[in-house]
Each structure stands twice: as C-alpha cells, then as structure tokens.
Amino acid sequence: MAEIYGLYSGRNGKVRYVGQTLGTRDVRFREHQRRQIGRIITAAHTWIHSEWRAGYPVECALLERCNNEARFELERQWISKFPNLLNERKLGYDWLHCKPPVIPEIRNYMSRFIFNCDGYRGVQYWRDLDRYSVFIYTGADWEWLAGDGAPGRTGEIWFSDRTQALKARDRYRQGLHRNWLRDTEQELDLLNIGLRLPDTCGPLDFAPSINGTECNAPVESEFAGIIA
C-alpha cells in the first residue's frame, strides 16, 4: 500500500505540500526535515525550518491510502485541490481554483492547541490538558523543554502555568547566541514590516460617538485566544 500525505503548519493548518510514498508517510516526513549530503535543499525543507524557527510545529496528515499503481495519479489529483503549494508544478498538476477540502485530521489538530500563546513564541497551550509546553528550534531540529508533567500523561513536557513555561524558555535561551525571533513580531513575520503609529493625534482622530460597549467587547486572537 502507498500513502498520499500533506504537510501543514500550526500557523494556520493550510496544506503546503502534497506527496506520495510507498509504505508509511512518517519516514518520508523525516526525509523532508533533514538536510542530506549530496541532495539539494528543497522548498519544503526550507519552509519546515522557517516555521519551526517561528515557533510553529509542522505536521504530516494522511490524505489517502491506495495501491502502488494508483499513487501517482492520486497524488496529482490531491495536488490540484490546494493553492500555494511548494510542489513543483508539472503538466496536469495545476490548482483547480476550487475551495480546498477540509481534512478532519488537520481540523482536529488545530482545535487542540494555541500556538505562540499570548504572543510568546514557542509557548504552546494544550486545550484538552489545560497545560503549556515550550517548542524550541535548535537550528537543525526541534525539541520540547522538560516541565512538570500532566495528570494521566507520561513524559514531562508540560507546564502547569504559562509563567513557568516562559521562564523555562528564557533559561534555555541564555548563553545561546542565536537570532531568536522576537515575540512582538509574530503576526508580521512573513511581511517583515512594523506597525507605525502617528506621533500626534489630530482633532478628528477621536470619535466620541463610538459605542464604548463595542470597543470593550472581547476579540478573538490567532495566538492568544480570547482577549478581553
């Protein structure tokens, strides 16, 4: 049996690469992550490491299982369903300009976590456990920092509160001369721009007619959940 798979990031859950492999996708996924001697650095490899550096895990979702003979045709069909892929486009592989399909595995994964929680890069909130973990990019790979665990779970990658997770992250960073991405830049990472506010406010910058209740309403944040 063969597998058709899609790579996606915790940034937004969008499939960015579609591939096929004989056997299971896990081995192929590890190959995408490693830099191999004698092989060119692929667009997928570069994208994976850029997402890791920004604090977002990259995952591999199963799209379809099939027999070996059908895998190339089914790969082509799946590639045609998603826009903005990193795949090399070949004849007959163009996006069909239709709405991408919802992949239940990806939807469920994205609903479980808040990544870069409250703007702190690498701090991840697990909704089902009410715990935090710290995702660290080492420069060649990634790892979880050791925490105090979680009830009913083996391993020690969880922290009971965000403050402890943040302290562990900052302790790890001390003495490591890496170009860490700042917490405040995350929504603008790909644009590489900054938000500029005017030095002064004119008489028309304040509108007293704005409804105060509307201004104080909670809003949804991609990184921090509900902000009151």
Domain tally, the chain: 2
The domain of 182 spans 115-188
Q: What share of the chain is helix, strand, coil (3-state, %, to 5)?
A: 30, 20, 50
Residue 84 lies inside a defined structural domain of this protein? yes
DSSP string, 132-173: EEEEEE-SSSEEEPP----TT--SS--BSSHHHHHHHHHHHH
> What would you measure as the largest C-alpha separation in the chain, in angstroms?
70
Instruction: Please tell me whether residues 60 and 85 are part of one structural domain.
Output: yes
Among left, alpha and beta (phi > 0; psi -120 to 50; other), residue 124 is beta
Instruction: Please tell me whether residues 105 and 121 are part of one structural domain.
Output: no
Instruction: Please tell me whether residues 10 and 62 are part of one structural domain.
Output: yes
Distances 147 to 88, 124, 157, 164, 174 between C-alpha atoms, Å: 41, 13, 5, 8, 17
Domain boundary among 94, 109, 124: 109
For the full predicted model, state whether its pTM sits above 0.75. yes
Tens-digit pLDDT profile for the chain (228 aa)? Answer: 999 999 999 999 999 999 999 988 999 999 999 876 566 789 999 999 999 999 999 999 999 999 999 999 999 999 999 999 998 766 566 787 889 999 999 999 999 999 999 999 999 999 999 999 999 999 999 999 999 999 889 889 999 999 999 999 999 999 898 899 999 654 444 444 333 344 444 443 434 443 444 334 444 444 444 444
Instruction: Please tell me whether residues 9 and 51 are part of one structural domain.
Output: yes
The answer to whether 140 touches 170, Cβ cutoff 8 Å, is no
Which tens digits make up the pLDDT trace of 33-82? 987 656 678 999 999 999 999 999 999 999 999 999 999 999 999 999 99
